């Protein structure tokens, strides 16, 4: 069969949210773009699936600070912001501090009000509460300072970098020398800690091990501006990005099997897909680096070296996600949940104990009674046809305990785990089993199969002190023209983090800015010598 060849400026391999965003931005700038996705559905974790006529969001719960952070600017650059219908949540979460007591409402977009509320609740912890919110505010404002530089001209960028240590000292310190979140968490009150860390279940690391940069930046987005959910779910973003790419002359290929990256020495030259060759100057990978280096560059010396290096890094958390469609509104099972969107019951004990518990599970003897629950009621903000409720129940998990199961054992274990999770859900929704229309469990193996992420990792590499900030896996690779635009890269982590990876790629601080910075430093040095 005769090979066909086509030429593009940029090829994206793996149509995750980061790569799609980067490809849409470049397509709007006049670049000829090709997107290749192994699966039939675009978006990776930013997608949906259907069961019995019900649409389930794969992963998205809420995005923080769409209006007041860089997220809006990135989506505008990609040409999709005005095509999305974001619903702002009136309350971020309802947090159950004790079984049978009214939950605490975590307000959206009212940081000062929430801080004052907590100081009234915990009058002996005012100093710790002030430190927590002071640190969060510093990160939010200093990240905004850097965000403004990214879209400025080279002269302003140069001056901004020169003033960076003065204008953004906390951000600079956390980027260069990662600081644990526990440094900002000075309270020993277990109830207050559960409130302040109630989002931490999504990050998969205890406060002593995670760089405070990621959770503080995310918390600021939520508390300063609120949580948002796009109607249609995460796939609404991915679908509109694909439409922008096609509208601007790009091409998208899905469901066509594995790709091979073509190289000449250490320069990428294109992609081979079956009998087709596509030439390009640059490849952006939404696919995870393990897949790229192991499967797409199997004989390349640099790739083997990089594969060995990243094999020593710690992957981020994975999870089990239970998707449920009820035949009745949720308030018929629990009137107190009417209008609720996210309901969180914190795990038993400290978050460090919870982390140790789910990471060290080697089998399936335990139930979920000590693990709390995180319940999202998607139908509250994005209702579908019918009067029922659409729920997602989320539990952190580890990949290894699932990996050794054969097909029959795997399917049987899924049913056992569903039963265990429903037992926990019944504490909140009595009689829930009698109202289930559709139920589906996504395991770590499911995550890996349908997103391609090694070990079913949700956020790529763990955001530990040794793997974040300047130590985070880089966008640029040792191979010229090969970039990684996904949750695995810097800064990574969640929808906002992945969009920021695309932003860093599409709007880098240019060499002209560094020339200005060098001149300013040289001038300051000469002036300093006069005194």
As a three-state string, the secondary structure of 407-435 is HHHHHHHHHHHHHHHHHHHHCCCCCHHHH
All structural domains of the chain with their residue ranges = 4-61+233-313+460-513, 107-226, 318-451
Residue corresponding to tokens 């509104």: 329
Which residues are 261's β-sheet partners?
A: 271
pLDDT tens sequence across 344-395? 999 998 888 888 998 888 899 999 999 989 999 999 999 998 879 999 999 9
DSSP symbols for 267-308: EEEEEEETTEEEE-SEEEE-S-HHHIIIIISTT-HHHHHHHH
CA 107/CA 112 separation, integer angstroms: 10
Residue 501, C-beta contacts closer than 8 angstroms, at least 6 positions apart? 18, 475, 485, 486, 487, 489, 490, 491, 492
Q: State the pLDDT at residue 439.
A: 97
Among the listed ranges 160-174, 247-261, 387-401, 513-527, which one has the minimum average pLDDT value? 513-527
At 74, list the tokens: 């990135």
The Cα-based distances of 426 to 153, 421, 423 in angstroms read 56, 9, 5
Strand partners, 7: 279
pLDDT at residue 1 greater than cutoff 50: no
Position 236 pLDDT exceeds 60: yes
Q: What is the DSSP letter of 225?
A: H
Q: Which of 200-204, 294-298, 491-495 has the lowest mean pLDDT?
A: 200-204
Residue 201 — pLDDT band, cuts 50, 70, 90? low
By the 10 Å C-beta count (0-12 exposed, 13-18 middle, 19+ buried), 308 is classed as exposed
pLDDT of residue 71: 93
pLDDT per residue over 6-52, tens digit each? 999 999 999 999 999 999 999 999 999 999 999 999 999 999 999 99
Instruction: Specify the residue for token string 């009137």.
Output: 335
Percent over 70 (pLDDT), the chain: 98
DSSP state of 461: B
Residue 254: enclosing H or E segment and its boundaries? strand 251-254
Of 410, 329, 333, 437, the C-alpha closest to 56 is 437
> Which residues on adjacent β-strands are paired with residue 501?
none
pLDDT at 530: 67
CB 150 within 8 A of CB 507: yes
From the centroid of its chain, how far is CA 6? 33
Mean pLDDT (whole number) for 219-239: 93
Q: Are strands 33-37 and 251-254 parallel, antiparallel or unpaired?
A: parallel
| Closest CA relative to residue 496, chosen from 95, 67, 33, 113 | 67
What residues does 230 pair with on adjacent strands? 86
Who's near 212: CB < 8 A, 6+ residues apart?
A: 135, 139, 174, 178, 179, 180, 181, 183, 184
Between 18-27, 34-43, 76-85, 506-515, the lowest mean confidence (pLDDT) is in 506-515
Report which of 34, 56, 33 is spatially closest to residue 45, judged by C-alpha positions: 56
Residue 55 burial class via C-beta count within 10 angstroms: exposed 0-12, middle 13-18, buried 19 and up: middle
Q: Under a CB-based contact definition with an 8 Å cutoff, are residues 55 and 384 in contact?
A: yes
The whole-number pLDDT of residue 198 equals: 83
End-to-end CA separation in angstroms for the chain: 76
Span 440-456, average pLDDT: 93
pLDDT of residue 493: 80
CA atoms within 13 Å, Cβ hemisphere of 509: 17
d(CA 234, CA 376): 14
Residues 483 and 285: beta-carbon distance below 8 Å:
yes
Confidence of residue 273 (pLDDT cuts 50, 70, 90): very high
Partners of 88 in the β-ladder:
228
Mean pLDDT calculated for residue range 241-260? 94
Query: Would you call the peptide bond into 491 cis, given omega within 30 degrees of 0 as the criterion?
Result: yes
Check the CA dihedral 488-489-490-494 and report its sign. Answer: negative
Please give the average per-residue pLDDT across 233-245, as a whole number. 97
Among residues 389, 376, 392, 380, the alpha carbon closest in space to that of 343 is found at 376
Chain-centroid distance of CA 468 in Å reads 14
What sign does the CA torsion over 395, 446, 406, 297 have? negative
- Is residue 460 a contact partner of residue 492, using CB atoms and an 8 Å limit? yes
pLDDT of residue 531: 63
Rounded to whole angstroms, how far apart are CA atoms 403 and 177?
A: 35
Q: What is the pLDDT of residue 58?
A: 94
pLDDT category of residue 4 using cuts at 50, 70 and 90? low
- CATH, domain range 318-451: 3.90.660
| CATH number for the domain running over 4-61+233-313+460-513 | 3.50.50.60
- Average pLDDT along the chain: 92
Q: What is the pTM of this model?
A: 0.94
Which residue, chain included where needed, has tokens 């091409």? 251
Binned at pLDDT 50, 70 and 90, residue 476 comes out as: very high
SS3 content of the chain, % helix, strand, coil (to 5): 45, 20, 35
Beta bridge partners of 211: 180
Cβ(451)–Cβ(16) below 8 Å: yes
pLDDT digits (tens, 9 = 90+) for 294-351: 999 988 999 999 999 999 999 999 999 999 999 999 999 999 999 999 999 999 988 8
Sequence-separated (6 or more) residues with CB below 8 Å from residue 284: 10, 11, 12, 13, 19, 22, 23, 483, 484, 485, 505
């Amino acid at each position: 069969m005769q090979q066909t060849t086509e030429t593009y400026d940029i090829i994206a391999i793996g149509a995750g949210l980061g790569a799609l965003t980067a490809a849409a931005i470049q397509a709007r700038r006049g670049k000829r773009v090709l997107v290749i996705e192994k699966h039939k559905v675009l978006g990776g974790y930013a997608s949906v699936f259907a069961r019995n006529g019900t649409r389930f969001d794969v992963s998205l719960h809420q995005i923080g600070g769409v209006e007041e952070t860089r997220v809006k600017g990135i989506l505008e650059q990609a040409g999709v912001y005005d095509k999305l219908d974001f619903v702002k949540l009136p309350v971020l979460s309802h947090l159950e501090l004790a079984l049978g007591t009214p939950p605490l409402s975590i307000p959206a977009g009212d940081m000062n009000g929430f801080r004052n509320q907590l100081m009234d609740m915990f009058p002996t912890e005012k100093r710790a509460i002030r430190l927590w919110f002071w640190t969060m505010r510093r990160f939010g404002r200093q990240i905004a300072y850097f965000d403004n530089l990214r879209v400025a001209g080279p002269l302003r960028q140069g001056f901004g970098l020169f003033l960076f240590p003065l204008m953004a000292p906390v951000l600079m310190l956390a980027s260069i020398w990662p600081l644990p979140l526990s440094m900002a968490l000075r309270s020993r009150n277990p109830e207050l800690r559960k409130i302040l860390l109630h989002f931490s279940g999504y990050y998969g690391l205890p406060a002593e091990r995670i760089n405070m940069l990621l959770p503080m930046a995310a918390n600021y987005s939520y508390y300063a501006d609120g949580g948002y959910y796009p109607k249609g779910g995460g796939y609404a973003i991915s679908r509109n990005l694909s439409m922008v790419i096609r509208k601007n002359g790009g091409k998208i290929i899905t469901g066509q099997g594995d790709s091979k990256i073509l190289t000449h020495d250490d320069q990428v030259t294109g992609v081979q897909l079956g009998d087709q060759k596509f030439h390009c100057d640059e490849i952006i990978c939404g696919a995870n680096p393990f897949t790229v280096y192991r499967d797409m560059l199997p004989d390349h010396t640099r790739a083997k070296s990089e594969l060995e290096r990243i094999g020593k890094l710690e992957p981020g958390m994975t999870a089990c996600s239970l998707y449920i469609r009820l035949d009745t509104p949720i308030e018929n099972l629990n009137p107190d949940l009417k209008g609720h969107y996210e309901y969180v019951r914190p795990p038993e004990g400290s978050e460090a104990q919870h982390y140790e518990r789910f990471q060290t599970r080697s089998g399936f003897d335990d139930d979920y009674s000590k693990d709390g629950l995180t319940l999202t009621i998607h139908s509250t903000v994005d209702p579908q046809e019918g009067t029922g409720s659409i729920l997602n129940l989320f539990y952190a998990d580890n990949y290894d305990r699932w990996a050794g199961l054969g097909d029959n054992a795997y399917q049987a274990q899924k049913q056992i785990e569903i039963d265990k999770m429903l037992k926990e859900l019944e504490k909140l929704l009595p009689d829930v089993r009698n109202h289930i229309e559709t139920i589906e469990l996504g395991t770590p193996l499911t995550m890996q199969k349908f997103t391609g992420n090694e070990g079913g990792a949700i956020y790529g590499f763990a955001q530990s002190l040794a793997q974040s900030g300047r130590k985070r896996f880089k966008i640029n690779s040792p191979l010229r023209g090969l970039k990684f635009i996904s949750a695995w890269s810097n800064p990574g982590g969640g929808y906002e983090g992945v969009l920021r990876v695309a932003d860093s790629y599409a709007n880098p601080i240019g060499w002209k800015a560094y020339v200005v910075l060098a001149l300013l430093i040289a001038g300051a040095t000469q002036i300093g010598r006069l005194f």
